[in-house]
Structure 1
């Protein structure tokens, strides 16, 4: 039956270096031989029958993996196929292309704003020379609007590039979420941990605002945008869920790229900034499609040892 426990995990491509503790291979092994955080993600993917994208700290470089779980019939018997793709190199290649696109975008936006500002400055100078001062307020207003647009545009990118080191502190969850609710609408699911969290209040608030904003823009009903917090001895897990249209496999594998966006006016910085904040705390981010539609984004942050 589909609901029966799956057989031990097998990797049909031994040429692909899998992330196994000690550098071994995964052929015919169960998840006990895999790095603990990856094993947990594998168990979640198998249990939820969902696609998942997450990062895993490994030494000097973070590794990014895409996990997908599919059902199939083979010789008349049901099987579950678990596919693990190491996305780090592909994402690095795509990031180079993204940076090139960013340079073109910045040049385009700068030219679009500076050209009319220059033209209006010349017009204003000519109006002043002729003594036509009645038209000057309109000229100055338009220059101000273009300058404001340029400031907001560049500010979004500079905030991403200048993320300071986090300064974690003890934060009561109830107070923190009450403050967050003043800025974004969401429903809290499940009880909050009785013990205080440990994180940089400002940075986590910014990350969650971005995630909640994405959830509301996903096509989900507002009442279906949820936030859950679970704490263990070693971790704090904050999950934002929606019931929008979900992500295709292509979008899911590129969702963490800076400046990648499927929105017409999106900056592509929301998920990338959330990832930067999670990793700056020594944690990780996971993105998964939900059964029944929608996306769940989970920030996994470490808790200090007492």
Structure 2
């Protein structure tokens, strides 16, 4: 296990060159998949990304109470992937709406469920590494845990100056990293791998576990707050949709197309073949349904049908 997860053990040159080569290729593939909004391409990058190896190396080193260079590889690899994402952002127009890309929008607002999924995936990965009879599930673990794509999204968003989006995707990466390390420590410790390192140099194990617990708690609080915020936004959006539907009730053929909150503004898109009722009545209907002071923008789409004729006539 130590030979597999420690990039500084055994044939270091071969393992490290393979690590950096595959990481660069995975980052380039992920950047291409993110910018083209291609799920299949991003999944391909997840499969070949080697970043989970040093992450699990951190967990094994903590269990065996020995010094490890795994954290250095994770830090250096993470910075490299972010830099590649930032370079890829140079081809994105400044006016491009990053949130219109599902590969970006799905990774900039993590919640508690992402942490739960990462923890379960980390447990599966640690078990697969420690048991050869279930090693075949490792590609599935690589797909389930999101490591390189969030870092690429962080670089792309930072390169575009969207710092809040970059922070959201970076929090997703950190939550996955912490969950994997915690899961690895639990599995490796439970399987007795601590015995193998008992005679090695003992480090401040208690402080390491306390620090990991504090980071895990901090990430959990951030994700919990983000989850609560997302639920509130969903509640306010639902209320706004109902209020808009009541506002259009007396307008024949009018309907609500979409209501969404973006950048602290509520955007209401309606389909109306005739004139709309006064917007003042919509604002009055929204009072008490959404927080006061929220700007509301109404976009109309005409629902008229035009008989254009037949092609070729």
Q: TM-score range by the shorter chain?
A: under 0.3
- Larger RCO (CA under 8 A, 6+ residues apart): 2
The TM-score normalised by the length of structure 1 is 0.23
Higher-strand-fraction structure: 1
The TM-score normalised by the length of structure 2 is 0.22
Higher-helix-fraction structure: 2
